[in-house]
Structure 1
Amino acid sequence: MTFSVISPPTCIMKILGFIMMMMITGSVFSEAGVYNVLNYGATSYNKGDSSNAFLKAWNLACAESGKPTILIPEKWTFLVYPVNFQGPCKAKNVVFMLSGTIVAPELPSVWKGRDTSKWLIFGGVNGLIVDGYGVIDGRGKGWWDQSCKHNTWKGCTSLAPTAISFHGCNDSTVKNIHITNSAQVHMYLGRLRDFGVDNIKIQAPWWTPNTDGIHIQASSNLGISNSVIGSGDDCISVGDYTSNVWISKISCGPGHGISIGSLGKDSNFVQVSGIHVSDSYFDRTTNGARIKTWQVGRGYAQDITFKNLQFYKVRNPIIIDQNYCDVRNDCKEQVTGVKIRNVTYSTLYGTSDTDIAINLKCSKSVPCSEIWMDNIHLANAVTGKQVTASCYNAYGREFDVVPGHCLLKSAPTTSGL
């Protein structure tokens, strides 16, 4: 029998060639604890839906102890229909490594018979880590074109899918990913505790309806930092039953600014406290630091700080609207309202795109109190024009404020609850 001997250089080249081939096809060695969606039937987006493959990889990883990783490999784009990655999982930490791209179905009809508010959902997964420099593309144009915000015909859409939602995922983090063109809200954070968002990017055209960057609801102990957000609605919005949120180093624009609210729409008892926004930049946004509450609400929004913020051609750099109602610009004064108190604005500067740079519209029945302003310097974006401050039923103190002063100094005695 004759044996042929392969010289070491040739052998090495063949092994390297095999590895390169596996990398190109997306197949990888079955490393323990790594679940590559390609190994479970995922395919290129133009060849069909990969939802089942993603769920197979998820279910196997969720059932494993240790630190399992679901891998969405780079240089691949996957079409994924609405899917729910459900916990609890066995492992203390589960990693969802997004290196490639996930795209949504382009046609809204795909959601027929499904929950039209959701696309990618993570529910009840504690210790979740979503990481990687990949992309989540909501391909929302089909939804935007039929939105009731832009259309009045019967059958227009008022509720469209959020690109990625987290429900009840405590002690978890999302970092480094890019979310673009969601049908509505890009990221929803609900019923969370000890949750962090860092170094993400969110993008959608300025005219897209209700495409908030991040919306927070019924959560506590959250941090959002080092991120770039531009969309057709709020860059970040804080909803009811939320406390202890730190938002810092955000580049916001286009969009409607960073908003606390709207709160109290359903006549509920509002409970929002400990919201801190700092070291952020607003570029040509509709609003900067905003608090918005409905007159029919009750309860409180308190212990709020806006610090070290820069505005560039922002329409309403500092705004409180405590008289929000269904009839825009024609809200009759009501005796109810959400009490806004202990709000600090410190070291805010830049330019306003309107003549009123500070606009505090508070309720006569439930006025704003303990408003503190210091080191605020705002100018008109139009050279030579002045800006003014407008305050109604707002009580507090101000020091070194341009424009100013407009706060009332002695707050009336009222519970406001």
Structure 2
Amino acid sequence: MRFLTTSFGIATLCLTSVVANGPSFKPFFRPPFNFPKNPENKETCTLKASGGDDAPRFLKAVQECTTVTVPASTTLSIQTRMNMTGLRDKHIQLEGTLKFTDNIPYWSGNGFFIPFQTQITFWLLGGTNILFDGGGTLDGSGQLWWDTFASNSSLLRPITLTIFEAENVLVENIHMLNSPEWNNLVNEGKNVVYNNINIHAVSNSSHNAANTDGWNVYRSDNIQILNSVIVNGDDCVAFKPNATNVLVENLNCTGSHGISVGSLGQFPGMFDIVENVLAKNVRMTNAQNGARIKAWAGPNVGSGIVKNITFENFIEAAVDNPIIIDQCYMTNATACAQFPSNTLIQDIWFNNITGTGTKAVVASLSCSPDGRCSDINVNDISLSFPKGSASFTCQNLNVTGDAASLFPTCALT
């Protein structure tokens, strides 16, 4: 594997070979940023709150200045959408807070539309060579959104931050609070790194903080998500269609739906790829899932491939499904047998997965019939069910690895 650096120093992942237990990546490092001077830009701009909508001033400053600082004592009120795409050599130093308003009528009608899974977003950030750091907070004011969504499931809620058509981006030392929907989307990104991100999305009412995924990676390559703490109500990280060469390392996830590949193969005429993913050193607590792969089956669905995925060094506590492959996702057994998944799952590694499940079945590897899964490996698995004996189930595949004996002969459907 070669290891490259971009023009401003972000480590680039270049996977050139597959080792015996899945993909391998060089460790992340953070060299200094040296932005070239641009005579058309001011060197540094510092923003203070205006008492009104600060979004236009923030947008103008980022366009005109090399470095934009929001001081620690400052909270900017973001009342209108922000399109910061097409940037080059920019440093956004957020020491204070960007607080997005909970004006549901405005944002529902004016948030930037994301066609994938019918989303909207507060903020598009894109271009080349962007550093976003400072230790400050993005506050999505999510509580009213979650409460309203509970009685109106068609409500479009904004993603807090969307990295869009971007290359060579580092987001580091940022707190994300109460996102209405997903916290982060990487959409058509390349060489994007998140490091030391603290995400907290927890409802203070009876309504859940629904769909508050930590990250969704979509149509993007060479992505790293590192050294972060996530407390939320959906996937900690999800690898969506055409996510390739992704490293997830040193995450602490609480209340989540897991580290998830998919779901994939849902839409007719679409071919989805997730390839070369390594998720390692993950602590999962009070979660719905731990390490998960999900692909659609049935009539009128799409196709794709999931290949060369490793889940490694997971510590799980009170997780409903610590290990799960579901290749009949959202499909009943009869339809899955008649219309097996067109999304192939190959070269999968579950290595050193330990902890406790909340149900007797602590690992479920469920593939479609007709050989749609291959080379599924389990090694160093130690999972227990505190209330009784743990069980391991599988169907329509051959399980290999030193923990394969935990699984009985796989059922055929």
TM-score > 0.5 by shorter chain: yes
Cα 1:227–1:344 shift into 2, 3 Å: same
Cα 1:204–1:331 shift into 2, 3 Å: farther
Q: Please state whether the residue corresponding to 2:401 is helix, strand or coil.
A: strand
The answer for the alignment partner of 1:399 in structure 2 is 402
The answer for the alignment partner of 1:100 in structure 2 is 96
The answer for the alignment partner of 1:137 in structure 2 is 139
The answer for the alignment partner of 1:16 in structure 2 is none
| 4+ long deviations beyond 4 Å | 327-332
Q: Please state whether the residue corresponding to 2:407 is helix, strand or coil.
A: coil
Map Cα deviations across residues 240-298 of structure 1 (whole Å, 9 max, x no partner): 01111010100011111110111111132121100110011001110000001111231
Q: 2:168 aligns with which of 166, 171, 192?
A: 171
Q: Is the 8 A contact 2:367 2:395 kept in 1?
A: yes
Q: Over alpha carbons, which structure has the higher Rg? A: 1
The answer for the alignment partner of 1:299 in structure 2 is 304
Q: Is the 8 A contact 1:217 1:241 kept in 2?
A: yes
The answer for the alignment partner of 2:107 in structure 1 is 111
**Aligned-partner Cα distance in 2 for 1:193–1:256:** 26
Cα 1:71–1:361 shift into 2, 3 Å: same
Question: Where in structure 2 are the equivalents of 1:363-374 lying within 5 Å?
Answer: 363-374=368-379
Letter paired with 2:255:
P
Question: Where in structure 2 are the equivalents of 1:37-52 lying within 5 Å?
Answer: 37-38=47-48, 42-43=49-50, 47-52=51-56
The answer for the alignment partner of 1:69 in structure 2 is 67
**Aligned-partner Cα distance in 2 for 1:329–1:234:** 25
Q: Is the 8 A contact 1:396 1:407 kept in 2?
A: no
* Higher relative contact order, structure no. (Cα contacts within 8 Å, ≥ 6 residues apart): 2
Percent pairwise identity: 28
Aligned residues: 356
Question: Where in structure 2 are the equivalents of 1:7-406 lying within 5 Å?
Answer: 33-38=43-48, 42-43=49-50, 47-61=51-65, 68-89=66-87, 91=88, 93-115=89-111, 117-123=120-126, 125-147=127-149, 150-151=150-151, 156-205=153-202, 207-267=208-268, 268-295=270-297, 296-325=301-330, 332-333=336-337, 334-382=339-387, 385-400=388-403, 404-406=406-408
Map Cα deviations across residues 96-120 of structure 1 (whole Å, 9 max, x no partner): 1010011111221122531361112
Letter paired with 1:54:
F
Letter paired with 1:49:
D
Q: Is the 8 A contact 2:322 2:357 kept in 1?
A: yes
Structure 1 residue 329, shift from structure 2 partner: 8.3
Q: Please state whether the residue corresponding to 1:113 is helix, strand or coil.
A: helix
Letter paired with 2:396:
N
Letter paired with 1:270:
D
Query: Which runs of 5 or more structure 1 residues have no equivalent in the other structure?
Result: 1-30, 62-67, 412-417
**Aligned-partner Cα distance in 2 for 1:397–1:330:** 27
Q: Is the 8 A contact 2:276 2:308 kept in 1?
A: yes
Q: Is the 8 A contact 1:338 1:366 kept in 2?
A: no
**Aligned-partner Cα distance in 1 for 2:409–2:146:** 41
Q: Is the 8 A contact 2:42 2:64 kept in 1?
A: no
| Alignment TM-score, normalising by the size of structure 2 | 0.82
Letter paired with 1:33:
E
Letter paired with 1:355:
A
**Aligned-partner Cα distance in 2 for 1:32–1:366:** 60
**Aligned-partner Cα distance in 1 for 2:128–2:271:** 29
Q: Please state whether the residue corresponding to 2:64 is helix, strand or coil.
A: helix
Q: Is the 8 A contact 1:104 1:137 kept in 2?
A: yes
Query: Which runs of 5 or more structure 2 residues have no equivalent in the other structure?
Result: 1-40, 113-119
**Aligned-partner Cα distance in 2 for 1:374–1:189:** 31
**Aligned-partner Cα distance in 2 for 1:166–1:397:** 38
Aligned Cα root-mean-square deviation (Å): 2.2
